[in-house]
């Protein structure tokens, strides 16, 4: 799902399963980036690692955006007021 479809600042409800996946992906990305820094990023044979990082980052975003958006306090209060008005 494109990022443009979501508010810039929003909270998400991340399940323990999604949280663990995000944690593992984050560590894998960090590891590969650290390796590139130590060995030098410009070497031609490093392209596979850079592609792996891009794939991991894409999967990380996919998992994150799969988590439902948590309504803000204003959204929840608005829904309560709307429900109260509807009962009147």
Delimit the domains of the chain by residue range: 10-87
Give the predicted TM-score (pTM) of the model.
0.70
Low-confidence ranges of the chain (pLDDT < 70): 1-8, 41-44, 88
pLDDT for 37:
83
What string of DSSP letters covers 14-71?
--HHHHHHHHHHHHHHHHHHHHHHHH-TT-GGGHHHHHHHHHHHHHHHHHHHHSPEEP
pLDDT value, residue 54: 95
Q: What is the DSSP letter of 68?
A: P
């Amino acid at each position: 799902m494109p990022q443009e479809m979501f508010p810039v600042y929003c909270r998400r409800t991340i399940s323990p399963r999604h949280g663990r996946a995000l944690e593992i992906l984050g560590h894998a990305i960090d590891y590969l980036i650290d390796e590139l820094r130590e060995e030098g990023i410009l070497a031609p044979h490093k392209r596979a690692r850079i592609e792996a990082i891009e794939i991991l980052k894409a999967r990380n975003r996919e998992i994150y955006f799969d988590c439902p958006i948590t309504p803000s306090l204003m959204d929840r209060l608005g829904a309560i007021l709307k429900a109260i008005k509807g009962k009147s």
